[in-house]
Amino acid sequence: MTEALVQAAYSSRAAEYIARFGDVESAHPADRQLIAKWAGAVVGPVLDVGCGPGHWTKFLADRGAVVEGIDLVPAFIEQAKVRFPGIPFRVASLTSLGAPAGAAAGILAWYSLIHLEPNEVPPVLQELARSLTSGGDLLVGLFESPEIQRFSHAITPAYSWPVKGVTKLLESTGFETVSIERRTGTGHRPHAAISARLA
């Protein structure tokens, strides 16, 4: 999906998305625990990329992180600024975050890469690596499948990935895999979270 199509799809349903998913309480408890644990180990500034309406950004800030939220969709950023004053949010692309090189100690990319075409993932990972300091931590949330699969996401088409495929791409970008967590549930797609550290 091109950025323009993703931006348009989410913009047209921003209010609906915020009402349904714009609170961390709607997330699985295991996700909250995992992100809290990851954030507790990051020392330094954090970027929440693909932050949507800012609920995870606020979650990180409440746990002491110096965090900035970044999203492609202006409607999400506008609402995030209203809902969570005092936390910086701005519009930017995953391919050009606008952060100085090495500025972040941690990057949360929680289901932020799912709408990328497979060939678009490597340059985005390179941009994340560019924005991280050496030794910086990345946490990626994704849908897992045995092979790369395109599926009909509620907002706009998305991709699920084999974890091994993502870790290979991360390693080729200079990351070392720290941990892999998986979550499954009846009637839901398998989920995975990959924690990686920039060498």
pLDDT of residue 113: 94
pLDDT of residue 179: 98
The span from the first CA to the last CA of the chain, in angstroms, equals: 30
Indicate the SS3 state at residue 4: helix
φ, ψ dihedrals at 92, nearest 5°: -160, 165
pLDDT of residue 84: 96
Which class in CATH covers the domain with range 3-177? alpha beta
- Catalogue the E-assigned strands of the chain: 46-49, 67-71, 89-91, 104-110, 132-143, 149-151, 158-160, 175-183, 191-198
Rounded average pLDDT per 10-residue block, the chain, 199 residues: 69 65 82 97 98 96 98 93 96 96 98 94 98 99 97 80 98 98 85 98
Q: Residues 145, 171: contact at Cβ < 8 Å?
A: no
pLDDT of residue 11: 61
